[in-house]
Homo-oligomer: A and B are copies of this chain.
Amino acid sequence: MPAPIDPIRPTDAEARALARRLIDEARFAALAFLDPDTGAPAISRIAVQTDAGGQPITLISGLAAHFRALAADPRAALLLGEPGDKGDPLTHPRLSLTVTACFVEKGAEHDLLCARWLGVQPKAKLYIDLPDFRFVRLAMVAGLLNGGFGRAFRLSAADLSSVDPSAPA
């Protein structure tokens, strides 16, 4: 197995479909953000779903380290796609997303997201109405899909969109 010279392949429909599946099926993810005190990279597990437009959404407590961090600097990254228990975890597909965090104000949009969220994760009713919990949209800027050794693809925001540009309007 010689090392490939350029591990990035041309993005195709199959890569776009796999990326969308990883986004749509994710119920949790790893979130990379900047520690507001040191500027160093930091990481948390977060719950994720999507909004009606297919963008990743998280629900976070005001007590979480990443709440204050994202409020200070919205630049973040998300890792989606969980390996199974067997074999080499690096052969399982995963998607690294560059995202910009946008806090959703309480009001009509928040209420719609609440209903959508609870439809998928009913147990969240235990904490979703606590006053410090907020939805944060993790707007996708770009992605790197890794489908296993030698199968990497760069994806644009358009590639990651849930809207198929080739579909009739």
Contacts and interface: CB of A to CB of B under 8 A. Distances in A.
A43 B1 contact: no
Contacts of A94: 45
Contacts of A40: 75, 77, 98
Contacts of A44: 79, 96
A73 B34 CA distance: 14
Q: Please state the number of chain copies in the assembly.
A: 2
Give the size range of A's interface with the partner. Answer: 35 or more
Given A28-B90, A45-B94, A65 B3 contact: no
B124 A47 contact: no
Interface stretch (A9-17, A80-88, A157-165): A80-88
A63 B3 contact: yes
Contacts of A127: 1, 149
Minimum-distance CB pairs A-B, first 9 = A32-B32, A30-B30, A28-B89, A32-B41, A32-B43, A43-B77, A40-B75, A43-B79, A7-B63
Given A42-B77, A43-B77, 17 more contacts: A1-B126, A3-B63, A4-B63, A7-B63, A27-B89, A28-B89, A30-B43, A33-B41, A41-B41, A41-B77, A42-B96, A44-B96, A45-B79, A47-B90, A82-B82, A87-B123, A88-B123
